[in-house]
Structure 1
Amino acid sequence: MPEVLSPFGVLLLWALFGYLLGSIPFGVLITRAAGLGDIRAIGSGNIGATNVLRTGRKGAALATLLLDGGKGAVAVLLARALAGEDAAQLAGFAAFLGHCFPVWLGFRGGKGVATFLGVLLAIAWPIGIAACLTWLATAVLVRISSLAALVAAVLAPLWAVLLGWGEVALLALGLAALILIRHRPNIARLLAGTEPRIGRR
């Protein structure tokens, strides 16, 4: 009889699944399908929804946002249903890594904000809702997408603790740390006062 996978082997498979799902570059696929060219040659060169919005196609940007968030959520929900909570957290984290470092694009991907929110919504929806509202409130107040993402990421571990999901705090902290790292150029522009505002190309 074939040998049953060890618990570590199961987790490894879910991590691989999450990574490959997260690696799907929806921003690139959607902009090409819409005849907008390669999103990596537009605006900031990022593959996420904020840069897709710079094409002027709100529908394409919304589709990118939903699909990038959805792939994080799907990775979590499938892993949880079939292998439990540890696999769900690992698959979600791997999906985030896949978006940031997709094998299909030479490991040069997006900054992971939508996928981060999708993972949190699926892992523990109260934390996800809190993070989304934090992003929205900050974006409305300052109209700077990167700052809204940074504030939402930094507060996510705190929301996890305050809302009684302490077991998710470490995952939220890891995701937040990577978002901060991925946003280093944005942080430099924020400090210099040159970061573009939402609605301006």
Structure 2
Amino acid sequence: MDILVYLAVAVGAYLIGSLSSAIIISNGVKKKDIRDYGSGNAGATNMLRTFGWLSGLLTFLFDAAKGVLCAWLGWLIAGEMGMHIAAVCVVLGHNWPLYYGFRGGKGIATMFGAFLFMFPLTALLLALAIVVLIAITRIVSLSTLLGVTIAAVIVICREPGNLPLVINYAAFWVLAMVRHRGNIERLLKGEERKLEFGSKKKKANEQ
């Protein structure tokens, strides 16, 4: 019976994760598909660059909320194991959404939401550090990948004997690296795009 409950949690979290705020906002409000602009990624950073800070912020908050919601529901329905299953599956849904041809985002905001539910204070402090790092380097991908790596190290060192937790954050790290392959290649070549604060570049919604 536990297996069926875990399976239901996994499927439910994946389906919730498949609701892409970036695609919903860009199609519904801007009448454009965010995946056709900028980096082609259905995530907060591309929304910010393409449609402005409000669209980027709303996308981030919605995606993070998915992580919080699914981690909480997983815990409520099936305890700690359910929480970890839901946390990974909601990210899988975000990255490869069923409703949008399996072309989604990179999962960072959704991972953050799950992390926030599990370790609120640590997650908030780490988020603050990432924001500072972005402000200094202006490279979002580098800052977020460092954040995911630090989060995984902190969690694994904190509870090395908690196998479900270790697997959860190892999976987060692997998913982040897989979805950022292109970014990593550009970082190694010194070609990664920097965030332009106060840019006067023409946005897609002005075209």
TM-aligned CA deviation for residue 186 of structure 1 = 0.3
Q: Which residue number in structure 2 is paired with residue 92 of structure 1?
A: 87
| Residue pairs, 1:77-116, within 5 angstroms | 77-116=72-111
Give me the whole-angstrom Cα distance separating, in 1, the residues matched to 2:58 and 2:96. 20
TM-aligned CA deviation for residue 36 of structure 1 = 4.7
- Is the CA contact (8 Å cut-off) linking 2:60 and 2:109 kept in structure 1? yes
Change (3 A) 1:140 1:148: same
Moved more, 122-131 or 37-46: 122-131
Q: Which residue number in structure 2 is paired with residue 189 of structure 1?
A: 186
- What's the secondary structure of 1:72's corresponding residue? helix
Aligned structure 1 segments of 4 or more residues deviating by more than 4 angstroms: none
| Residue pairs, 1:21-100, within 5 angstroms | 21-100=16-95
Give me the whole-angstrom Cα distance separating, in 1, the residues matched to 2:50 and 2:156. 39
Q: Which residue number in structure 2 is paired with residue 174 of structure 1?
A: 171
Give me the whole-angstrom Cα distance separating, in 1, the residues matched to 2:93 and 2:192. 26
Instruction: For residues 67-100 of structure 1, give each alpha carbon's deviation from its aligned partner in whole angstroms, at most 9, with x where no partner exists.
Output: 0111011001112122211001101100000001
Give me the whole-angstrom Cα distance separating, in 1, the residues matched to 2:64 and 2:52. 19
Question: What letter is aligned with 1:186?
Answer: N
TM-aligned CA deviation for residue 155 of structure 1 = 1.1
Question: Please, which of 140, 148, 153 is the counterpart of residue 145 of structure 1?
Answer: 140
With normalisation by structure 2, the TM-score equals 0.88
Q: Which residue number in structure 2 is paired with residue 125 of structure 1?
A: 120
- Is the CA contact (8 Å cut-off) linking 1:22 and 1:71 kept in structure 2? yes
State the identity %: 34
Task: Please list every run of 5 or more consecutive structure 2 residues that lacks an aligned counterpart in the other structure.
Answer: 202-207
- What's the secondary structure of 1:191's corresponding residue? helix
Moved more, 11-20 or 75-84: 75-84
Task: Please list every run of 5 or more consecutive structure 1 residues that lacks an aligned counterpart in the other structure.
Answer: 1-5
Aligned length: 195
Give me the whole-angstrom Cα distance separating, in 1, the residues matched to 2:82 and 2:121. 20
Question: What letter is aligned with 2:67?
Answer: G
Change (3 A) 1:107 1:174: same
- Is the CA contact (8 Å cut-off) linking 1:144 and 1:198 kept in structure 2? yes
TM-aligned CA deviation for residue 130 of structure 1 = 4.2
1:160 has 2:159 as partner: no
Question: What letter is aligned with 2:4?
Answer: G
TM-aligned CA deviation for residue 128 of structure 1 = 2.1
With normalisation by structure 1, the TM-score equals 0.91
Question: What letter is aligned with 2:113?
Answer: G
